[in-house]
């Protein structure tokens, strides 16, 4: 089967075409600045990447170019050869506990969550309808970023606010990066040759979340009602005392919308360093002795370590593996070493030589980086959300 995976943002569209069950990626692409000046897209195939500058007024234009690329690169000769389309949806509330076949009823249910993800959900739903128009007979599947975390219990997903907030407005922890955490769980079951695994999975990229996984199910995660909670990130603040917000508004005269923008787009590594959101740039600053870059890195490490320790206790120390994934987790070797070195009191130890071998741009990308006497194995495993979307789509339409 040929499965198309689609990840649409408000001004972007990422796609992959994957052949299953062989898991062979045939082509991938990324459309950027949709509806803006300077729009373009890039295509990757057989390791070769090409970029084309085109006018993309909306997502329908992107879909038209996507189809042309599938034809011109001989991926398909007809859209009927695409057996299914898997769409990433940011928010499924607590309604969708797994991936589902997309129907009109499902789309109407998803629309109810637009106010929970106002920047992403409407664009994704519009993109789904555009694909339905272009490929009316092709089954489509919705894969939700929140669904993997719907196995959390009340004590983990409820906030200590009036219970009516949850009953009336759905205010609770939802968690995100679920597709990545689900993929890592599946991959670790294969690597450890176990049907059920207990993991602490660290998805650390420009955005980051840590997930506590017991018997292959999410029981807690750092992101909450929104992706801004938990650990600090590239531009997101992570956890803060809520009283900071009205205090800062009174002092600065900023509106709530302005403060929300600051907390999501001007905080985290960027806020502390006052220079960089990308950890690679932070590392350069650290090497130059920049105090604020060093501070930003140390705060980042401290917060990640804190959550790992919390989840270690939550699993009663019965942890099959601590896993690092996503951009930073897969590539920042010194960063991984800093984190694990602070976990020695838990008996978690790193093998520095092994750790230096693993990065996505090197020949060795996946494997164990802990020392032989570590009480918990530590792994680096590249995530593959596109493959997880494709697998869910394949399983549902099969």
Q: Is 316 exposed, middle or buried (0-12, 13-18, 19+ CB in 10 A)?
A: exposed
Q: What is the DSSP string of 274-326?
A: SS-SSHHHHHHHHHTT-HHHHHHHHHHHHHHHHHHHHHHHHTTT--SEEEEEH
278 assigned to active site: no
Rounded to the nearest angstrom, the gap between the alpha carbon of residue 244 and the centroid of all alpha carbons in its chain is 27
Interacting residues of 24 by C-beta distance below 8 A, sequence separation 6+: 18
Please state, in angstroms and rounded to a whole number, the distance separating the CA atoms of residues 226 and 147. 14
Please state, in angstroms and rounded to a whole number, the distance separating the CA atoms of residues 264 and 91. 18
Q: Which residue has the tokens 């090197």?
A: 362
Count CB neighbours of 170 within 10 A. Answer: 16
Please state, in angstroms and rounded to a whole number, the distance separating the CA atoms of residues 197 and 210. 16
CA nearest neighbour of 300 among 231, 358, 254, 251: 231
Contact indicator for 222, 231 with CB cutoff of 8 Å: yes
Strand partners, 382: none
Please state, in angstroms and rounded to a whole number, the distance separating the CA atoms of residues 251 and 235. 22
Count CB neighbours of 36 within 10 A. Answer: 10
**Strand 217-221 to strand 208-214: parallel, antiparallel, or no bridges (unpaired)?**
antiparallel
Please state, in angstroms and rounded to a whole number, the distance separating the CA atoms of residues 173 and 327. 24
Contact indicator for 229, 251 with CB cutoff of 8 Å: no
Q: Which of 61, 80, 145, 373 is catalytic?
A: 145
In angstroms, what CA-CA distances link 194 with 23, 321, 379? 21, 12, 15
Q: Which residue has the tokens 């509106």?
A: 255
- Residues tagged active-site: 145
């Amino acid at each position: 089967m040929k499965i198309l995976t689609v990840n649409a943002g408000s001004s972007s569209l990422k796609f992959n075409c994957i052949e299953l069950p062989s898991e062979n990626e045939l082509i991938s692409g990324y459309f950027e600045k949709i509806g803006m000046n300077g729009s373009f897209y890039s295509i990757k195939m057989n390791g070769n990447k090409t970029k084309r500058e085109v006018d993309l007024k909306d997502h329908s234009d992107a879909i038209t170019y996507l189809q042309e690329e599938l034809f011109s690169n001989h991926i398909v000769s007809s859209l009927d050869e695409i057996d299914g389309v898997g769409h990433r949806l940011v928010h499924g509330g607590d309604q969708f506990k797994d991936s589902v076949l997309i129907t009109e009823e499902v789309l109407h249910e998803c629309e109810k969550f637009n106010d929970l993800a106002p920047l992403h959900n409407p664009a994704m739903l519009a993109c789904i309808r555009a694909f339905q128009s272009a490929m009316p007979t092709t089954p489509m599947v919705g894969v939700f970023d929140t669904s993997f975390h719907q196995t959390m219990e009340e004590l983990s997903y409820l906030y200590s606010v009036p219970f009516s907030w949850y009953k009336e407005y759905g205010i609770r922890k939802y968690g995100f990066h679920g597709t990545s955490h689900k993929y890592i769980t599946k991959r670790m079951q294969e690597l450890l040759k176990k049907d059920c695994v207990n993991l602490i999975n660290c998805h650390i990229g420009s955005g980051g979340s840590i997930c506590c996984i017991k018997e292959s199910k999410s029981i807690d995660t750092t992101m909450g009602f929104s992706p801004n909670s938990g650990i600090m990130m590239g531009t997101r603040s992570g956890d803060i005392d809520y009283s900071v917000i009205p205090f800062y508004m009174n002092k600065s005269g900023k509106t709530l919308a302005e403060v929300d923008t600051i907390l999501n787009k001007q905080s985290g590594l960027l806020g502390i360093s006052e220079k960089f959101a990308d950890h690679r740039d932070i590392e350069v600053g650290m090497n130059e002795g920049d105090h604020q870059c060093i501070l930003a890195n140390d705060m980042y490490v401290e917060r990640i370590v804190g959550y790992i320790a919390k989840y270690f206790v939550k699993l009663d120390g019965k942890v099959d593996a601590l896993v690092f994934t996503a951009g930073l987790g897969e590539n920042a070797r010194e960063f991984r070493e800093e984190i694990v070195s602070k976990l020695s009191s838990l008996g978690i130890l790193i093998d520095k030589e092994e750790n230096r071998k693993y990065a996505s741009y090197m020949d060795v990308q996946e494997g164990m980086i802990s020392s032989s006497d570590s009480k918990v194995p530590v792994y680096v495993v590249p995530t593959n959300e596109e493959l997880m979307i494709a697998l869910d789509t394949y399983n549902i339409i099969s």
